[in-house]
Structure formats: C-alpha cells, structure tokens
C-alpha cells in the first residue's frame, strides 16, 4: 500500500497516535514539499525511463581503463571538452583489438544507458567497440583543415613577425621530456640573458587539449612574454592528434602574442603548424629561430663597424683629393688672374671714354661759339651797338613811320646801353627831355 488518508492511526508505545500518509502524487509535476516522492519511488521510475532509451554509438578517448573478472571498466572522454561517461564492456568484446585498446585510444562503442537505482549513477553498458582508423582520422583532419583555411586562419597576412630579441619566452612543453631542455639550453647558449616562463602540461592523451589551450591563454595574457613556443619532441600520428584539435588550433589562432609551433619533425604537420606564426621542425630549431646568436651578432657588429669605418675613410680621402684638385686650380691658387683682364679692359674703356668725351665737348664748344656769333650777328643789340636806336610808343609798339605817332606822344628810345624818353613835337619830331 503506497499511502492512505491522514487520521488517527494506531497508537505508539507511548500512546501517541501516528498520522497516516496521504496517497503519493501520480505525476512528478504534482509533487509538493508536503507530498514528495521518496527516493525508492523516484529511482525505479528513472531507471525505467532510461531503460527505454535505445543503444547508441559513442565516440571518445579511453581513460582509466581497468579490468575486473570478465568486465572492462573505462571512462569515455570527449576529445574536445571536459566531459566523460562511465562505460562497462565485456572483455571479450575488446579481445580482437589487443594492445591497441589502451588509455588514450580513440574508439567508438555501441552502448546502452543504464541507471543504477542504488547509487543513483548513470552508466553505459557496451557490447561492441572498435578503434577509429587512421584513414578516418586523416579524413576528419583534412576536413577541419579545409574549414579553417576557408576562414583564413592559415593566411600569410595573419602571420606576425617574431621580435628580434625577446626578453621573456613563454614555453609550453611536456612535464617530462627533452623539449624543454632543448629549447632552454640552445636559447641560452645563443643569448644567455634570455628569460623563460615555462608551463609544463600534458602533451598527449585526453588531457592535452585543455591543458595546452589553457597554457597558451595564460602566457598570452602575460605582458612580459614576447613570444610563445609550443614544443614537443615529435611522436606518432596518434600522439600528435591533440595538436590538430579544433579547440586548440582556434586558441592558437586567437593568441595575440607571436606563436611558434615546434611539435613534430619534418614529416609531421599538425594543424597547429599551419596556424602558428612560425613553424619550427624541432624544439632545437625553435630556439635557433626565436633567439639570435650573440656571437654571430657581435661578429656582424664588428663587421658593420669595420665597413662603416672603411667607408668613412674612403669618403674622407675622396673629398680631400677633390678639395686638393679644387685648390690647385688657377682660379683658387691665383684668383686675381680672373680679374686682371677685366681690369685692363675697364681702364682702356675709361680712357677711350674720356678721349671721346673731350673730343665731343671740344666739338660742342666750337659749335656753341659759332652759333653764338650767328646769334650776335643777327641780334638787334648788334645793330644798336653800331649807333642805331629802337623807338617805341608807350604801349611798346615799335615806331616805324612818322604816321605811327602824333604830336605830344611819349616815346621810349632804346639804345645799345639803356634807353631814354622823348616826346613828339608838332613838326613830327621827337624832343628828348632836358
């Protein structure tokens, strides 16, 4: 019986009546704090609901694989996100895979969900398993490569140049391995003052993608880091799969700090190599590409100084020679030689000008004398000097005939020197005043 009406039930040993339970709600939506479902009622319902779900093929990476009697227990982890499922599998179902079925293996399993009422846990019971083949993985990587290339993540225009001399290098490498030693030792051998900010992470298996992605983001956020190097000393195709993961590749593309990929060798090419600003074939090659050689730089500096000194000496010698040639020319050695011919011509011109001026003045003086004689000869004054006089009336008119005057008219008589006054008498003659 699931429940009954509340009322005075049978008394306890103390004589206190126990209230009877109300009937349980038929649906989950009908439950209330006063009328809840007990666990024993809900758990079977969940198990029944889950049991109706069909089996499904699920893909992931094997993690925490262990065997107990005839069963295999494993965690099937998503290759991109931090999500996982618990799976049980008959050992006989994986027998054909042999040693290839191990932690980190990329598999698909055919499993049916199961809910354990006692523990309240959800698991999957698998009956078949198979490895994801290399051909299928390559096809997926090629498809992702095409998608990312169409988005422009591999374009050369996105590549940022590396700094000539980074002060701090961010290094993402394995927790144990030679990659860190190769990068650090070779970089410091080339430039001892270089500093490193190292992030040791898992570089293969299901934990590689989130750990490497987080390390890149952390180093990119550090303002002291000038360049980020992701290094791993090669490995099999399966070992390098995390570095072709879409999440990790997009995180590298979003990195604002120049990023160097030093994952595989010459024959390996994960997608991280394509999106990185620089691909190095090995961690040692990354150290050589990121840090300049102090010995080579000093040699270049000495050579540059020697070339600059030689060029300066050659330029000075050439300019001194040119200056000596200029100073040896007559125009600078005896500059007055340029003036002397002009001075002679100037003196000659002045003398000639004076001679011509004197001759012109003499001719002009003679001409003036001749003209003055002509003027004097034609002048009335010359006639007056011979004893003649000019008689004028009071109004200034010249008297030429006796009829031009009347008796009593005042006259002016102009002589060679001065003039006298006169009056016309009755007889028509002029009488000068006493």
pLDDT band at 318 (very low <50, low <70, confident <90, very high): very high
Contacts of 219 (CB under 8 A, 6+ apart): 170, 172, 197, 199, 225, 228, 257
pLDDT of residue 380: 73
pLDDT of residue 9: 45
pLDDT of residue 17: 52
For residue 86, give the nearest of 121, 51, 118 by alpha carbon: 121
Tell me how far the alpha carbon of residue 390 is from its chain's centroid.
113
Contacts of 319 (CB under 8 A, 6+ apart): none
16 pLDDT more than 60: no
427 pLDDT more than 80: no
pLDDT band at 312 (very low <50, low <70, confident <90, very high): very high
pLDDT of residue 337: 77
432 phi-psi bin (left φ>0, alpha ψ -120 to 50, beta other): beta
* Least confident stretch, 24-38, 117-131, 322-336: 322-336
One DSSP character per residue, 99-168 reads: GGSSTT-EEEEEEEEEEETTTTEEEEEEEEEEEPPHHHHHHHHHHHHHHHHHTTTT-GGGPPPPPSS-SE
Task: Look over the chain and give the mean of its residue pLDDT values, rounded to a whole number.
Answer: 83
pLDDT of residue 11: 46
What percent of the chain is modeled with pLDDT above 90?
Answer: 24
* Helix (DSSP H) and strand (DSSP E) numbers for the chain: 11, 16
pTM comes to 0.52
pLDDT of residue 21: 63
Strand order in the sheet with 278-279: 195-201, 168-174, 227-231, 259-262, 278-279
Coil vs helix vs strand at 180: helix
Determine the Cα–Cα distance for residues 219 and 166; give it in Å rounded to an integer: 14
For residue 127, give the nearest of 164, 161, 90, 152 by alpha carbon: 90
7 pLDDT more than 60: no
pLDDT of residue 434: 52
Q: What digits encode the pLDDT tens for the residues 320-349? A: 988 888 877 777 777 777 788 888 899 999
20 pLDDT more than 60: no
pLDDT of residue 207: 80
Side-chain half-sphere of 35: how many Cα atoms within 13 Å?
18
Determine the Cα–Cα distance for residues 326 and 129; give it in Å rounded to an integer: 97
Determine the Cα–Cα distance for residues 51 and 53; give it in Å rounded to an integer: 5
pLDDT band at 3 (very low <50, low <70, confident <90, very high): very low
Determine the Cα–Cα distance for residues 399 and 379; give it in Å rounded to an integer: 19
Please enumerate, as own/partner, the contacts of 124-129 that have beta carbons within 8 Å and a separation of 24 or more.
Answer: 124/58, 124/76, 124/85, 124/86, 124/87, 124/88, 125/87, 125/88, 126/87, 126/88, 126/89, 126/93, 127/55, 127/89, 127/90, 127/93, 128/93, 129/89, 129/93, 129/94, 129/97, 129/101
Determine the Cα–Cα distance for residues 423 and 385; give it in Å rounded to an integer: 23
* Least confident stretch, 46-50, 146-150, 322-326, 334-338: 334-338
Q: What digits encode the pLDDT tens for the residues 358-410? A: 999 999 988 998 888 888 777 777 777 777 788 888 887 888 888 888 888 88
In terms of Cβ atoms closer than 10 Å to its own Cβ (0-12, 13-18, 19+), residue 275 is buried
The residue with tokens 């994801």 is 132
Q: What digits encode the pLDDT tens for the residues 215-270? A: 999 999 999 999 999 998 777 777 788 888 888 999 999 999 999 998 866 566 78
Instruction: For residues 157-174, give the mean pLDDT.
Output: 91
Distance, first Cα to last Cα, the chain: 194
pLDDT of residue 373: 81
Determine the Cα–Cα distance for residues 39 and 26; give it in Å rounded to an integer: 15
pLDDT of residue 214: 92
pLDDT of residue 313: 92
Is residue 248 within 8 Å of 209, Cβ to Cβ? yes
Determine the Cα–Cα distance for residues 90 and 63; give it in Å rounded to an integer: 16
CA distance to 31, 131, 149, 242, per residue, from 98 (Å): 51, 11, 38, 23
Coil vs helix vs strand at 41: helix
């Amino acid at each position: 019986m699931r429940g009954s009406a509340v009322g005075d039930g049978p008394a306890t040993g103390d004589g206190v009546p126990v209230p009877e339970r109300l009937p349980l709600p038929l649906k989950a939506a009908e439950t209330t704090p006063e009328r809840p479902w007990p666990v024993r009622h809900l758990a079977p319902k969940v198990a029944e609901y889950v049991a109706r779900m069909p089996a499904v093929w699920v893909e992931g990476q094997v993690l925490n694989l262990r065997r107990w009697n005839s069963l295999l227990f494993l965690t099937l982890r998503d290759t991109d996100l931090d999500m996982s499922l618990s799976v049980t599998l008959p050992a006989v179902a994986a027998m054909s895979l042999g040693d290839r079925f191990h932690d980190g293996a990329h598999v698909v399993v055919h499993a049916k969900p199961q809910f354990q009422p006692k523990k309240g846990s959800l698991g999957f019971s698998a009956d078949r398993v198979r490895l994801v083949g290399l051909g299928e993985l390559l096809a997926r990587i090629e498809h992702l490569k095409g998608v990312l290339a169409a988005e422009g993540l591999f374009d050369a225009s996105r590549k940022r140049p590396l700094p000539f001399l980074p002060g701090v290098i961010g290094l993402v490498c394995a927790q144990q391995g030679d990659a860190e030693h190769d990068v650090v030792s070779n970089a410091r051998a080339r430039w001892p003052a270089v500093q490193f900010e190292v992030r040791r992470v898992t570089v293969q298996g299901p934990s590689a993608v989130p750990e490497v992605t987080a390390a890149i983001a952390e180093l990119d956020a550090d303002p002291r880091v000038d360049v980020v190097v992701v290094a791993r000393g090669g490995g099999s195709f399966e070992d390098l799969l995390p570095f072709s993961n879409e999440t990790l590749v997009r995180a590298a593309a979003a990195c604002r700090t120049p990023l160097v990929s030093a994952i595989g060798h010459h024959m390996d090419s994960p997608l991280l190599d394509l999106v990185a600003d620089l691909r190095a074939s090995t961690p040692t090659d990354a150290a050589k590409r990121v840090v300049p050689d102090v010995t080579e730089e000093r040699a270049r500096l000495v050579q540059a100084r020697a070339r600059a000194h030689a060029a300066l000496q050659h330029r000075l010698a050439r300019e001194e020679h040119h200056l000596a040639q200029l100073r040896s020319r007559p125009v600078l050695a005896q500059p007055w030689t340029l003036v002397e011919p002009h001075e002679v011509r100037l003196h000659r011109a002045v003398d000639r000008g004076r001679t011509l001026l004197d001759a012109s003045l003499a001719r002009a003086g003679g001409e003036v004398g001749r003209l003055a004689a002509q003027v004097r000869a034609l002048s009335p004054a010359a006639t007056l000097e011979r004893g003649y006089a000019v008689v004028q009336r009071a109004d200034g008119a010249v008297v030429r005939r006796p009829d031009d005057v009347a008796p009593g008219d005042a006259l002016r008589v102009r002589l060679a020197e001065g003039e006298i006054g006169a009056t016309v008498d009755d007889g028509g003659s002029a009488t000068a005043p006493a």
